[in-house]
A and B are shown apart, each in its own frame.
Chain A
Amino acid sequence: MQLLSDNAYRSQFTVRTMDQIDELTTRQLHNLGIQTGSLINVVRFYPFHGPVVIQVDQQRIALRYRIYQQLVGGH
C-alpha cells in the first residue's frame, strides 16, 4: 500500500457535487460549512488512507479519506 497517495493529492479544489455522499454525512458537512461550491484547501494526508485535514473558510477540519474522495469526486 502506498504511504501517501500522490495521484489523489490536490492542494486545492472546489466541491462540484455532493450527490455521492449519504444524507447524514451531507448534513454534518453542511454544519461545518462545506457545501457544493466550497473552496477546499487540503492541508495534510495521513498514511494508509487515514484521515485528511482540510481547511475551509479559515477552519481546519479532519475527516475520513473516503469522504474526502467523495468530495473530490466531481473532478
Chain B
Amino acid sequence: MATVALLGNPNTGKTTLFNELTDKYAYVGNWTGVTVEKKMGTLRHTKIAVVDLPGVYSLNPITKDESVAIEYLLHGDPDLILNVTNASQLKRNLLLTIELLEFGTPVIIALNMIDDLNRTNVTYDLPTLAQRLHCQLKATNARNKKGVAQLRDGLVASLTELPPATALHITYPTLVEQGITQAAKKLVADHGMTPDFARWLTIQFMNQNQTIRAYAQAHDLTPLLQSAPFYDAQNFENQIFTTRLTFIEDTLTAARRQNTPTSQSELTNKIDRWVTNPILGLPIFVVIFYLMFKLSFDWIGTPLSDGLNALLSGPVSHGANSLLTSLGALPFLKSLIVDGVIAGVGGVLTFMPQIFVLFACISILEDSGYMARAALVTDRLMQMIGLNGKSFIPLIIGFGCNVTGIMATRTIEQPKERLITTLISPFMSCSARLPIYSLFVAAFFARNQALVVLSIYFLGIAVALIMAKIYQIAFKVKGNSNFMIELPQYHLPRPDIILQGTWDKGKGFVKKAGTIIFAGTVLIWLLSNLSFHGPVTDIDQSLAADLGRWLLPVFAPLGVGSWEIVSALLTGIMAKEVISSSMIVLFHFTGRTALVATFANLFTPLSAYALLVFILLYIPCFSTLATIKAETGSTKWTIYSAVSSFVIAYGLAFLIYQVGSLFI
C-alpha cells in the first residue's frame, strides 16, 4: 500500500488539510503543537495511506515532539511527501522544503492558506517555482476546501506514475561541498547507501542534527563521525543555512509577481490591538476565561448536569431497582448495582455536560488562534517561576478539571517545563473538590464562607507556584526559558472542527467513567459492605471501617478524630467528588444537614480548616494519576506525584493544626 507523509511548519493548516484529504478525522487546533504524535488516515476514495506528522520548522528537532518527523523519514519509507506550506510565509517554510527535496523521495508542495497570500500585494508564479524546485506545486486553502480536490488528484496521479526520484542539489560553499562529496562517496562505497541518501545524511549530519548524529553513532558511520570536529569548527551549519536562504531568496524573487489585493483584511491587527494590548490584554484574558467558566459551570453545563443527575438518581436508579427486584436478584447484587455502580459511576457522569462545554470553549479558543495570545499576555507572570506563558493555560483549565489541564500541557515545547506544569497541575483546586468545601464551610465558617473557600483556592495556587519554583531549581531549568511564539492569523472557528475537537478531548473522560471510575466505585462499595468474614450489614464491621481505624493514628496529628473521615479520604483518591458522598454513607446519614450537625462534635474550626487544606492538596484522583502516567509515559513520575502531594498536604495540614493549636 502506498504511503503519503504530510510534513510542514506549525500553523500551516496541515492538520486541516489532512482532515480534508482523508476519511478519518484527526484533531485540529490553530495553536502550535496540537499534533503531538503521527496520525494515520486514508486518502478519500482510495487505499492510499496518509501520515500526518507533527509540525516542524526543520528536520533538526528542538523538542521531542519534533523528532517524530525525522525518525519517520529515517524509518518510515514514504512513497511521496506532501509538504504543506503557508503560502504567505514561503521564505521560511521553504527551509524545510529544501531539506525534504534533498531527501530524494518525490515531493508535492501544497501552497496552503493561499487566500491569505492573495490579500497581500505579492503573488508567486507556480510554474517558475516548480521549475526551480524540481517538484509539483498546488495552491490550496484547506479551511474553505479550495484546491483540495485538485491536490488529491495530483497525489493519486503521482503515486500511480511515480516521478523519477530526483533529489534537489544546491551548491554549497566549496569547503562544504568537498566535505559532502568525500563523506558521501565513502558512505556509498562502505555502507551501501544510495548517493542521494548519503548526500542528504551528510548534510543533516553537518547541520548538527542530533537525531542524525545518534544515527551515525548507532550505525558506526566512521566517514561522518571522524569529520565531525572539522565540520563544527568550520561552522558548516551556518554556511548551509546561509546558502539555503540565498537559494530561497533567488527562487522567490524569480517567481514573485505583483498582485492586486482582493480585500485588504486588517482584521487580525484590529482584534489584536485590543486583545494583546499591554494594559488591557490581561484583564481581557481574565474576562474570556471567566466567561468560559460561567458557560461551563453556570449557564449551560450545570443545568444540564442537574438534569442528568435527576435522571440518573431518579428514573434510572428506581427503574434498575424495581427491575432487579422483579428479576429476583440477590439483595447484595442489587445493592452493588444500584447503590454502587449507578450512584458512583452515574455521579461522575453527571459532570459530563460541564466538562464537554469547557472543552468546546477551549476548542473555540484554540481554533480561532486566541491561545497563542493568552500565552503572550501571561508570559511575564509565568517568567517569575521559571515557566512561560504556554504553561498558564493548562493551570487555568485545571480549575475545571485537573485531567484536562494536564492534557493541555501538550502544547508546551520544553520537556522540563511540561513536566513541571504537569506536576503542579493537581494543586489547582478542581471543581470536584467544591462539594466537600461547601459542606465544611457551612458547618464551621457560616459567616465567611466565600472568603474561606477563596483562601483554599489561593493556597492551591500558592503551593503550585512555590513547587514550580522548587522544581525549577531542582531540575536546573535555565533562568530564562525561551518563550517564542508565532501569533497566527485569527480564523472564524468552524463548527465541525469545534465539534470534532470537543469530542476528541472528551471521549477519554467517557471511556474513563467506564473503566477506572467504574472499578473504583465497585471497590469502595465492596470495602464498605464486606468484612473478613463475608458480607456485613453494619458498616462499623466492614473492611472500610477496619482500614479507617487502622490509619486513624496517622491522621490524628491533623486533628482528625473518627475513622469515617479517614475512610472517606481514601475513597477520595478514586474521585474527589466521592469524599462528601462517602461521608454521608459512612456516617449513616440520609443528607447533608445531619452531617453538618455531626461535624460540630468531631471538629473545631481549626481542625476543619486543616482538613480542607489536606483535601485540597493530597493525592490526585485516579483519573488525574492515570493522565499523568499517560502524558509523562512514566510510572516513576506518577508515583512521585502521588507521594509528594501527600507529603505536602500532610505537612501543611500538620503545621496549620499544630501551630494553630498553640494560639487557639
Chain A contacts to B: CB under 8 angstroms: 4, 24-25, 27-33, 35, 44-51, 53, 57-64, 66-67
Q: Give Cα A50–Cα B276 distance, bound, in whole angstroms.
A: 12
Q: Which of B56-64, B308-316, B345-353, B624-632 contacts A (4 or more CB under 8 A)?
A: B56-64
Q: A53-B376, A62-B485 are in contact. Are A32 and B480 (CB under 8 A)?
A: no
Ordered nearest first, which 6 A-B pairs have the shortest CB separation? A31-B57, A33-B92, A50-B380, A60-B487, A62-B376, A63-B484
Which residues of B have CB within 8 Å of A27?
58, 60, 62
**Contact status A51-B487, CB under 8 Å:** no
Chain B contacts to A: CB under 8 angstroms: 9, 57-58, 60, 62, 88-89, 91-92, 95, 120, 241, 245, 272, 276, 278-279, 281, 372, 375-377, 379-380, 383, 389, 480, 482-487
Q: Give Cα A48–Cα B276 distance, bound, in whole angstroms.
A: 15
Query: Which of B91, B245, B372, B484 contacts A67 (CB under 8 A)?
Result: B484
Which residues of B have CB within 8 Å of A47?
278-279, 380
Chain B, residue nearest A49 (CB):
B380
A-B contact pairs, 27 of them (CB 8 A): A4-B278, A27-B60, A28-B62, A29-B484, A31-B9, A31-B57, A31-B92, A31-B95, A32-B57, A44-B276, A44-B278, A47-B279, A51-B376, A51-B380, A51-B483, A53-B376, A57-B91, A58-B89, A59-B89, A60-B272, A60-B486, A61-B487, A62-B375, A62-B379, A63-B484, A63-B485, A64-B484
Which residues of A have CB within 8 Å of B58?
27, 30-31
**Contact status B278-A45, CB under 8 Å:** yes
Chain A, residue nearest B372 (CB):
A62
Which residues of B have CB within 8 Å of A64?
379, 383, 480, 482-484
Which residues of A have CB within 8 Å of B486?
32, 59-61
Which residues of B have CB within 8 Å of A30?
58, 95, 241
Chain B, residue nearest A57 (CB):
B91
**Contact status B484-A61, CB under 8 Å:** yes
Q: Give Cα A46–Cα B388 distance, bound, in whole angstroms.
A: 14
**Contact status A67-B482, CB under 8 Å:** yes
**Contact status A62-B57, CB under 8 Å:** no
Which residues of B have CB within 8 Å of A31?
9, 57-58, 62, 92, 95
Which residues of A have CB within 8 Å of B88?
58
Which residues of A have CB within 8 Å of B375?
62
Which residues of B have CB within 8 Å of A51?
376, 379-380, 389, 483
**Contact status B487-A62, CB under 8 Å:** yes
Chain A, residue nearest B483 (CB):
A64
| Distance of A52 from chain B, by nearest CB (Å) | 10
| Distance of B231 from chain A, by nearest CB (Å) | 14
List the count of A-B residue pairs having beta carbons below 8 Å apart: 93
**Contact status A57-B241, CB under 8 Å:** no
Chain B, residue nearest A26 (CB):
B238
Chain B, residue nearest A3 (CB):
B278
**Contact status B241-A35, CB under 8 Å:** yes
Q: A51-B376, A62-B379 are in contact. Are A28 and B278 (CB under 8 A)?
A: no
Which residues of A have CB within 8 Å of B483?
51, 62-64
Which residues of B have CB within 8 Å of A25?
482, 484
Q: A31-B92, A62-B379 are in contact. Are A53 and B276 (CB under 8 A)?
A: yes
Which residues of A have CB within 8 Å of B484?
25, 28-29, 32, 61-64, 67
Q: Give Cα A62–Cα B488 distance, bound, in whole angstroms.
A: 11
| Distance of A19 from chain B, by nearest CB (Å) | 11
**Contact status B379-A24, CB under 8 Å:** no
Which residues of A have CB within 8 Å of B89?
33, 57-59
Q: A51-B380, A53-B276, A57-B89 are in contact. Are A35 and B245 (CB under 8 A)?
A: yes
Q: Give Cα A60–Cα B275 distance, bound, in whole angstroms.
A: 14
Chain A, residue nearest B120 (CB):
A58
Q: Give Cα A46–Cα B375 distance, bound, in whole angstroms.
A: 13
Q: Give Cα A61–Cα B372 distance, bound, in whole angstroms.
A: 10
Chain A, residue nearest B478 (CB):
A22
Known: A31-B95, A46-B377. 15 other contacts (CB 8 A): A27-B58, A28-B62, A29-B484, A30-B95, A31-B9, A32-B486, A33-B92, A45-B278, A46-B380, A47-B380, A51-B379, A58-B120, A59-B92, A63-B485, A67-B484
Which residues of B have CB within 8 Å of A45?
278
Chain A, residue nearest B268 (CB):
A60
Which residues of A have CB within 8 Å of B383?
50, 64
Q: Give Cα A48–Cα B389 distance, bound, in whole angstroms.
A: 15
Which residues of A have CB within 8 Å of B245?
35
Q: Give Cα A31–Cα B62 distance, bound, in whole angstroms.
A: 10
| Distance of B243 from chain A, by nearest CB (Å) | 12
| Distance of B412 from chain A, by nearest CB (Å) | 15
Which residues of B have CB within 8 Å of A44?
276, 278
Which residues of B have CB within 8 Å of A62?
372, 375-376, 379, 483-485, 487
Query: Which of B95, B120, B241, B379 contacts A50 (CB under 8 A)?
Result: B379
**Contact status B278-A24, CB under 8 Å:** no
| Distance of B67 from chain A, by nearest CB (Å) | 14
Chain A, residue nearest B377 (CB):
A46
Q: Give Cα A57–Cα B62 distance, bound, in whole angstroms.
A: 23
**Contact status A48-B380, CB under 8 Å:** yes
**Contact status A33-B91, CB under 8 Å:** yes
Which residues of B have CB within 8 Å of A63?
483-485
**Contact status A57-B276, CB under 8 Å:** no
Chain B, residue nearest A66 (CB):
B480
Chain A, residue nearest B93 (CB):
A33
Chain A, residue nearest B248 (CB):
A33
| Distance of B31 from chain A, by nearest CB (Å) | 13
